Amino acid sequence: MTKQEVVVITGASAGAGRATVQEFARHGAWIGLIARGRDGLEGARREIEAAGGKALVLPVDVANPEQVEAAADQVERELGPIDIWVNNAMTSVFSPIKQMTAAEFKRVTEVTYLGYVYGTLAALKHMLPRDRGSIVHVGSALAYRSIPLQAAYCASKHAVLGFFASLRTELMHDHSNVHTTMVQMPALNTPQFGWVKSRLPRKAQPVPPIFQPEVAARAIYYAAHHPHRREYYAGWSTVKAIFGNKLVPSLADHYLARAGYDSQQHDGAEDPNRPNNLYEPVAGDHGAHGQFDDRAHARSLELWGATHTQLLAGFAAIGIVSIALGATLFSASSSRRRQVWRRAA
């Protein structure tokens, strides 16, 4: 009997994590589901079981390392050896820095950065003795290019990138068959914009262009099975943000100072009293999608290219051969014409 692939996904109850659950379930994986919101976790479990897989619901706060380690141990006992661990859980606060509290910075950092650290430590505990496994870190263009109004989240994603780079080099030094990779995401249509704590005057939105969470899920699934590549960029906007920041960071600062506030808000006043998920999950099963379906792209050409490198290389080789053959034929034809002209002369 073929062993089922065992996967752990943090932040599995909604958004990109939920879409990733659906993607792995479509391929028959058994999945440990980590998040705080039981309603969303139960919804994800039903989707996995409907696809013929097996799920383990683990209501865990990733900011608590003991809970994360215990969850990993439970997955190993009930589902089997963990093959893939996806660090994805996050939270944020939409707010100018001057209005943030120390407690808010601490909480966002504990979930969005330290949650990745704790998940990685739990995964390594089981993967290293077996000398196999894949750890995927779900990142963002904001790991390279910070924007206003999301300082705690941007700083946490920068920290994840630094942690990931250290981890990767240590695994390489040890010649380990445990691999790690990072997927840098564009703006995604997820429910977070309706439940993240916000002090913005208008409703929060992802900075356009916006992509559907299934784009993120396909990128994560591919990266998990091709972890030798250091990073994947799931969207051309991600590429532009990262390399634009490398080339002209000061220009990007001035642009975001002008446009970064309005681009993160859309029509309609924000309700300052709505529930938020900073410390407690918002009740209900929120699914993978947010409220921006009519503006979100279901495909990414950049991701397609990143996941079809052999095909692109084949096309490039055919193109080179065709150009070389055409040049040879043109040269031969030109040579024959010159000979004809000489005889005629």
Q: How far apart are CA 134 and CA 179, in angstroms?
A: 5
pLDDT for residue 312:
45
Residue bearing tokens 């994947």: 232
Tokens 């390489």 belong to: 172
| Cα dist from 46 to 12, 15, 25, 178, 285, whole Å | 13, 16, 11, 30, 12
Chain center to CA of 146: 16
pTM of the model: 0.89
* CATH class of segment(s) 6-307: alpha beta
Residue 13 CA to residue 38 CA, distance in Å, equals: 8
Residue 316's pLDDT is 46
Q: Which of 153, 222, 232, 233 is catalytic?
A: 153
- pLDDT value of residue 178: 98
Detail the DSSP E strand segments found in 65-193: 84-87, 93-94, 133-140, 178-185, 187-188
What backbone torsions phi and psi does residue 85 show, to the nearest 5 degrees?
-120, 125
Angstrom distance (rounded) from CA 91 to CA 37? 13
Examine the residue annotation and report whether 153 is marked as an active-site residue of this protein: yes
Q: Report mean pLDDT in 10-residue bins for the chain, 345 residues.
A: 88 98 98 98 98 97 98 98 98 98 98 98 98 98 98 98 98 98 98 96 96 98 97 94 96 97 95 95 97 93 72 50 54 59 59
Q: Which amino acid is at 235?
A: G
140 pairs with which residues across the strands? 185
* Spatial CA neighbour of 134 closest among 124, 144, 148, 145: 124
**pLDDT score of 205:** 97
